[in-house]
Amino acid sequence: MDSIASNFLYHQITSAYTKANQPNKAQEASLSKKTEAPSMGQMIGKMVQEVDSMQKKADTTVQEFALGKKDILDVSMSINKADIGLKLAVEVRNKALEAYQEIMKTTI
């Protein structure tokens, strides 16, 4: 292999290596964007809104059942879904309260 061919091959390899190790514009954009996790307050607020929505849907389903528009299966499913959502919200609240009380007990 002559020196011209070896120089050409060397430049091809170094060029490919340089391109491979540089992040592309899409990667740079995703790295430069700051991704913030939602705060605990935002998460709890969203959960409360979802539970409220399930409760309202259950109420609407019961009213529609009374008017003959829904069957008992829809009512049962809607009420159970709202009940499970409420129980989950209460448990999350209880665990958060326990964690807060535990933190307050610790001495620094």
pLDDT greater than 60 at residue 98: yes
Question: Residues 31, 23: contact at Cβ < 8 Å?
Answer: yes
- Distance separating alpha carbons of residues 54 and 67, to the nearest angstrom: 20
Task: Please give the model's pTM, rounded to 2 decimal places.
Answer: 0.60
**Chain-centre distance for alpha carbon 13:** 42
- Distance separating alpha carbons of residues 106 and 108, to the nearest angstrom: 7
Model confidence pLDDT, tens digit, residues 2-34: 556 555 655 666 666 566 566 666 566 665 566
| Ranges of H-type helices in the chain | 3-21, 25-32, 40-66, 72-105
Domain boundaries, the chain: 1-35, 38-108
Model confidence pLDDT, tens digit, residues 49-85: 999 999 999 999 999 999 999 999 999 999 999 999 9
Please give the pLDDT value at position 1: 47
Residue given tokens 């430069």 in the structure block? 32
Question: Residues 102, 61: contact at Cβ < 8 Å?
Answer: no
Phi–psi pair at 102, nearest 5 degrees: -65, -40
